[in-house]
Chain A
């Protein structure tokens, strides 16, 4: 599938030489959100080549940038299409665009529009004035949950690599035959890992503002602990296996919060309020702790099989 739009100048409705010029990225969703936000309006849309990446990410990488914008103004012949000398750039494009440099290079003044395309009509109707809230990036529950599927898929890809050795080792747990062990002990082990992923990739984003701690690794521990309690309850009260021993209990008490904290930490990239300096500071202690927890948990889990 192709999610790119060809870069260049597009007409929305029937724009003329006085119509506003809106700048966007050549990611289909960025372009479509912009078009959808302006029903019945006439405008020019100048699409920059950002390799099919959305405005904010591309601005962070510099592909939605000063030179690209000035170059596209030139290449599209915008100066011959409109009489005015003004382009409206999404505010989240500002990490890549230097407004005064664009004016120097192209002669066009950059006006920063609102963060959300949906606020554009109100912004333009009030004479390019941003109303309350139009300049800040939110991170609502809906916005956080929309990121869950892609995070889950990444985690499950890793799970598929981990699962074969886990199931194979489960066969040797000594309670019954090899295959019945895989279906009992092995299935519970798979459930433990799935619950760790659910804690880090689903519960953490869903409950993010209410989880104690500032570092995401800390936030991810709480759903992990809830996961441990739920898992051990299920493990010890359902199925035909004898209750988990000390090693197996300790293993899951380390693995589930450790994995959940790691996945939560990786949600920093999806969030809208983390800084690189902060992420690096968090990672300095969090990554060694996560590796230690999961490695020690794995050793305990293997020990529980053979002891």
Chain B
């Protein structure tokens, strides 16, 4: 099955190819296969697959990658707008519900 993709042309991912050292860390850490290495430089091969997790930018030793990192979770956005703490599904409360009712349920977010 082909890779699922979300909305087109929305992500904040930027790559400065001049600053890139070609170490390929971005391609290693990206869980969505966004980067490719060509001619010893990184390039963005599949931009719309980016989920803005921020792993590439954090692990780029030359600071060539930038992205406004965050978690693509509507519940978290609603909670922060309503001023509810314990953001998103990452509260411990959630895991207890999760465990009790579905021992196999992997955590969301």
Contact = CB atoms under 8 A, between A and B. Distances in A.
Interface of A: 1, 3, 27, 29, 51-54, 56-61, 66, 91-92, 94-100, 112, 115, 130, 135-137, 139, 143, 146-147, 149-150, 153-154, 208-209, 214-216, 265-266, 268-283, 287
B7 A135 contact: no
Nearest to A33: B106
Given A1-B99, A60-B71, 13 more contacts: A1-B96, A54-B107, A209-B4, A214-B6, A268-B74, A269-B109, A275-B6, A275-B11, A276-B52, A276-B73, A277-B68, A279-B72, A279-B74
Interface string B62-86: 0000001111111111100000000
B51 A272 contact: yes
B104 A281 contact: no
B50 interface: yes
Give the top 4 A-B pairs by smallest Cβ distance, nearest first: A269-B73, A276-B70, A274-B72, A94-B55
Contact of A137 (B25, B32, B100, B105): B32
Q: Which of B28, B49, B70, B73 has the most CB of A within 10 A?
A: B73
A177 B99 CA distance: 44
Interface of B: 1, 3-8, 10-12, 25, 28-33, 49-55, 58-59, 61, 68-78, 87-90, 92, 94-102, 104-109
Contact of B10 (A146, A269, A275): A275
A184 to B, nearest CB: 32
A154 B101 CA distance: 12
B88 A269 contact: yes
A68 to B, nearest CB: 14
Nearest to B59: A99
